[in-house]
Amino acid sequence: MARPQRPQLRRTSRERPAWHLTAIGIVVVGIFLFPLYWMVSTSFKSPDQLFTRPPTLIPTEFDFSNYLRAVFENETMLRSLGNSLIISVGTSVLALLLATPAAYALGRLQLKWTGLLLLPFLVAQLLPSINVALPMFTLFSRVGLVNNYLGIILADTVAVLPFAVIVLRPFYLNIPKALEEAAAVDGATRMQAFLRIVLPLVRPGLVTVAVFTFVMTWGEFIFGLTLTTKQDMQPVTVTLNSFIGQYGTEWGPLMAASTIVALPIVIVFLVFQKQITGGLAAGAVKD
């Protein structure tokens, strides 16, 4: 019998590797990512290199002054970078503390109300941040949480917590129940079983959630805009936006600032690339 023809959708790796596809891929992805290159290259250009037409693709000389002006000698910007770091780490920690047990409960434990309890997390994903911003503003004003790291951390956690729970839940689903039952037999309480057996097994999920929440919070804008009224408390996204007003026609410094704001995310992304792609697909598709 003749061998069934392999479906064209997958090239067998036994044939020659499809380098022509690789070439196409590089070109297409290169075009797609070109704006990012443009941002970085602009950041190194001096004004005379910027205001030319046609523009210079590769800066002829690397001018660092944009970076000095917009970032390294700019106290506001440096302070904002620090603020964003504190806020992002704080939010990740808080989100993990809340989401880890919650996803466990919703994923593993037979709760009578699982469906109903999942609902707030799903609804929260629908909620526009702007709806929450004003009430939070008035509420936080009265208790002194405006211009306060804790205030923004609480607000940002609202934004990321539902996502964290939804992404984390499938990781728990993958753990065989037998392990917990074995622990129960040994006399472990639910909490002990959770902490000593289940938790280490979902560590990849925890890393994914931590990375996700860090990235999402670093880029958060609305709560930063509405819940900080003083410049020295603002996260870096709000500062960058105010730069546009100041540096509007000075694209060099603006691109330098943008690059620095993007840099931590790119680094985190490159290091935790697998977790990000895995977590997102799992969370969204396994709905």
Partner 1 sequence: MYLTRTHRRVVAVAAAVAMAASLAACSPGAAEPASTFDPTAPVTLTWWDYYAADSAPSNAVEALLTEYKTEYPNVTINREFIAYADLKKSLLQSAGASALPDISIVNGPDHQQFAELGIAADLTDRIAAWGQLDQYPQGLIDSASLDGKIYGLPITANCLALFYNKDLLAAAGVKPPTTWQEMSQVAAKLTSPDHYGYAFSAINNQQAVFQWLPTLWQAGGDLTKVDSPEAIKALEFTASLIKDGSVSREALNWDQAAVAAEFAQGRAAMMLNGPWQLPYLATNAPDLNYGVALLPAGQDEASVTGGENYLITDGPNADAAWNLIKWMQDPKRVQQIDDAAGSLPTRLDVKSGNTDPNLAVFAEQLKVSRPRAYGANYAEIADNVVVALQSVLSGSNTAKDALTTAATAIAPLLK
Partner 2 sequence: MSASFRIRRPAVRLRATAGRRRGRSALSRYLFVAPAIIFLLVFMFYPIAYTFNLSLFDVNVGNFLKGGAAFVGFDNYVEFLSSPGFLSSLLVTLVFTLASLAFQHLIGWAFALFFNRKFPLSGFLRAIMLVVWVMPAVVSASLWRWMYSGSYGLFNSILDVFGIHTDEAWLVNPQTALIAVIITNIWLGIPFHMMLVYAGLQGVPHEVYEAASLDGASARQRLFGITVPLMRPVVAIALLLGFVHTFKVFDVIYVMTAGGPAGATNVLSIAVYNLSFEYFRLGDGAAAANILLVIPLIVSVVYLLVRRREESA
Choose one: 83-91, 119-127, 197-205, 226-234; the region binding partner 1 (CB under 8 A): 226-234
Q: How far apart are the first and last CA of the chain?
A: 43
Residues 114-133 that bind partner 2 (CB under 8 A): 117, 120-133
DSSP letters, 14-43, are: TS---HHHHHHHHHHHHHHHHHHHHHHHHH
Q: Is 5 in the site for partner 1 (CB under 8 A)?
A: no
- Choosing from 10, 14, 142, 177, the residue that interacts with partner 1 (CB under 8 A) is 142
Q: Which two tokens stand for residue 27?
A: 């070109």
Give the whole-angstrom CA distance, residue 87 versus residue 85.
5
Q: Say which residue the tokens 């728990």 belong to.
A: 172
Q: Which two tokens stand for residue 137?
A: 């503003």
CB 137 within 8 A of CB 227: yes
Residues 237-256 that bind partner 1 (CB under 8 A): 242, 245, 248-249
Tell me the one-letter amino acid at 258. Answer: S
Residues 163-202 that bind partner 2 (CB under 8 A): 165, 178, 181-182, 184-186, 189-191, 194
Taking CB within 5 to 8 Å according to partner kind, which of partner 1, partner 2, none is near residue 242? partner 1
Residues 23-62 that bind partner 1 (CB under 8 A): none
Q: Of 129 and 242, which has the nearer Cβ to partner 1? A: 242
Q: Is 146 in the site for partner 1 (CB under 8 A)?
A: yes
Peptide bond into 162 cis (omega under 30): no
Give the whole-angstrom CA distance, residue 228 versus residue 27.
43
Burial class (CB in 10 A: 0-12, 13-18, 19+), 217: buried
CB 114 within 8 A of CB 106: yes
**Smallest gap, in angstroms, from Cβ of residue 218 to partner 1?**
21
Q: Of 246 and 277, which has the nearer Cβ to partner 1? A: 246
Residues 37-96 that bind partner 2 (CB under 8 A): 38-39, 42, 50-55
* Cα–Cα nearest to 256, from 79, 48, 50: 50
Choose one: 64-72, 75-83, 202-210, 263-271; the region binding partner 2 (CB under 8 A): 263-271
Q: Which residues contact 234 (CB under 8 A, 6 or more apart)?
A: 80, 83, 224, 228, 242
Q: Of 130 and 182, which has the nearer Cβ to partner 1? A: 130
Q: Is 157 in the site for partner 2 (CB under 8 A)?
A: yes
Taking CB within 5 to 8 Å according to partner kind, which of partner 2, partner 1, none is near residue 93? none
Q: Of 180 and 220, which has the nearer Cβ to partner 1? A: 220
Q: Of 149 and 269, which has the nearer Cβ to partner 1? A: 149
Residues 151-190 that bind partner 1 (CB under 8 A): none
CB 139 within 8 A of CB 192: no
Q: Is 115 in the site for partner 1 (CB under 8 A)?
A: no
CB 172 within 8 A of CB 107: yes
**Smallest gap, in angstroms, from Cβ of residue 224 to partner 1?**
12
* Cα–Cα nearest to 198, from 109, 284, 104, 71: 104
In the complex, the residues that contact partner 1 under the rule CB under 8 A are: 137-138, 141-142, 144, 146-147, 226, 228-231, 242, 245, 248-249
